[in-house]
Structure 1
């Protein structure tokens, strides 16, 4: 039933249709076709998250994880297939964590990241372990624990170097940059950012895992924009976030909405208050298409900035943002 639901969602979103559903044998045995079916379900959930954010996709992904667990615990299969099923359970648990993080449900995110890390350790799977550590790093920085974020990013970087994918090392480097920026270590952040940019330009090395497909020039521009925000270089931050929006693929609707609210914040901080206010109101249409707690946090930040400006136009914009936040059930 879940897979049929996810096929319908995928079709509605213009996403690739998962493989045809397979039926277990009477003895409960399953084969490769069942694994491929489950993996296609997770792939569709990745794409739905990219397009619409973590809020609405989280419950679907939790249900998918329950299905994978049920198959693991009630079916028969060879050891080689069992390992792949366990890995899929870890990847699905990690995606539950990511979606909870994006929905700003941090305790739930920690729970699922813990489960994913346990599976990664049990299987000794570098890719999954890097994915979990990089996510925990981002969460730590988001929650105001940049030192933890840095240590987690360095742990992930050590494993990424062993994995041998320059693109993956660049992605983890961005997590390191974020933590260093929040720690106020501008020189180290600049060095880490420059290294991440160089790594993206490499053609050699092992291909990055499928889950890292989102990383590229747009992500690096956004990272640099956030770095300049932290050190108070707001005009430069605005330019880089604008570049990130221009480069971001339209399939990543949640990121585009998040970037737009970040740009509105940067414009206000750069002294372009009227432009920032107008841009924030204009971006509500984009925000309406996604369900992301992180994006809503950015909206609240812009609203609070505008509320401090004693001008009729900005106060009106702040009121519109407040009204929108209330309709979404946000503070």
Structure 2
């Protein structure tokens, strides 16, 4: 190995590193810069654009292009000019040395495991250590994959809370705060792909807020959130987020008993690109359509046809495929629960009861709110077959399942329907009076 002017010439270093989304690549040349770019999801063109923005903010007239970035990545340029170094430091919020650069006459950075470098980069970027060594340039810290992952984890936690407790004011507030955080991050340096992901997450958070209001029967608030979710879905160019918004719009319209709009929203969900790629989403959209048709007189055949489409497409879905957390609720158990709603509405309470039992058999224990809702539907199916005592006993399980928390508004409304049908069918029956005396306060109090 030859030594030139006191500087040791190192051979290319190759390391394997796993990006957050699972992509693997062989990193050579200035691998520290490559890791930093991968974390921020920068292409060469996008990094050049971000550096140029930092140069302009610093009052510099210099600029870089894709070719310059390529010389940095291949380590042909090992120590950029001062203005460019400071711009790079402002973009990544770490020192030029952390990015793999070193001045003439200095040894190259030692070989290290790429995962170690990435953890150090994430720990230092924007932190106190970086702030102490980086010149103050009027550029906000860049937004990258780690920021997106952090927001996604928060979203998943809210989705799990909804499955456990159902919609409530605190859930709505937390979801709106998450959406605002994702939008605020747009003010910082980011690639186009990261910006789309931020809009996508903001749409997901807003959809959670809308669903919380629907489940809590705060329908006017839900309407405003849904409008915002559709807008954010368009900005994100993410058909999954758009499908989620139309799915919720169908639910919202049904709660308002606007069944024509519910069908139109469900059909809009069917037309999104994600339903053409993934039969699970298509199945959910068909199931929502079936509920809409079931509530319109004379549309029995259309309701059953849509239900058949939902069953057929679900049978083709790979249930183990990674998907956003919001659709984790949907699968065979939820389709059985929707089948119970459709069949009961069509006047087939025995079929509705059978579907409810199948739903309860498949529902995970963690889906406490869904289990309570399916149990209430089972009670309605039993009531509509004239089995009053069994139906009243079944509703007692609803209160037991949700004993730790107040009933969501949608569930209280469903139990209100049960009470109304109970006194209509048997106004003088002892079991009806006892049920009202025992549970009136629990199901009618928010």
**Could you state the TM-score of these two structures normalised by the residue count of structure 2?**
0.65
The root-mean-square deviation of aligned C-alpha atoms, in Å, is 2.3
- Deviations 1:90-136 (CA, angstroms, capped at 9, x unpaired): 11111111111111111111111111111222332211111111110
Equivalent residue, structure 2, for 1:115: 228
Unaligned runs of 5+ in 1: 1-20
Equivalent residue, structure 1, for 2:390: 275
Equivalent residue, structure 2, for 1:200: 314
- Deviations 1:154-202 (CA, angstroms, capped at 9, x unpaired): 1211215664111110011110000011113111111111111111111
Equivalent residue, structure 2, for 1:28: 140
Q: What SS class does the counterpart of residue 330 from structure 2 fall into?
A: coil
1:191 aligns with 2:309: no
Q: What SS class does the counterpart of residue 431 from structure 2 fall into?
A: helix
Equivalent residue, structure 2, for 1:319: 437
Q: What SS class does the counterpart of residue 54 from structure 1 fall into?
A: coil
Q: Shift in Å at residue 300 of structure 1?
A: 1.3
Using CA pairs under 8 Å that are at least 6 residues apart, name the structure with larger relative contact order, 1 or 2.
1
Residues matched between the structures, number = 307
Q: Which has the larger radius of gyration?
A: 2
1:295 aligns with 2:402: no
Whole-angstrom CA distance in 2 between matches of 1:111 and 1:323: 31
Q: Shift in Å at residue 219 of structure 1?
A: 1.4
Higher helix share: 1
Show structure 1 runs of 4+ deviating over 6 A: none
User: Residues 160, 32 of structure 1: CA spacing in aligned structure 2 closer, same or farther, 3 A cutoff?
Assistant: closer
Unaligned runs of 5+ in 2: 1-121, 132-138
Equivalent residue, structure 2, for 1:57: 171
Matches within 5 A, 1:1-331: 24-25=126-127, 28-29=140-141, 30-55=143-168, 56-73=170-187, 75-160=188-273, 163-184=276-297, 185-203=299-317, 207=321, 209-210=323-324, 211-290=326-405, 291-308=407-424, 309=426, 310-326=428-444, 328-329=445-446
**Could you state the TM-score of these two structures normalised by the residue count of structure 1?**
0.86
User: Residues 282, 223 of structure 1: CA spacing in aligned structure 2 closer, same or farther, 3 A cutoff?
Assistant: closer
Out of 58-67 and 242-251, give the one that drifted further.
58-67
- Deviations 1:204-254 (CA, angstroms, capped at 9, x unpaired): 799573232221111111121111111212122112112111111111111
Q: Is the 8 A contact 1:168 1:208 kept in 2?
A: no
Whole-angstrom CA distance in 1 between matches of 2:337 and 2:227: 28
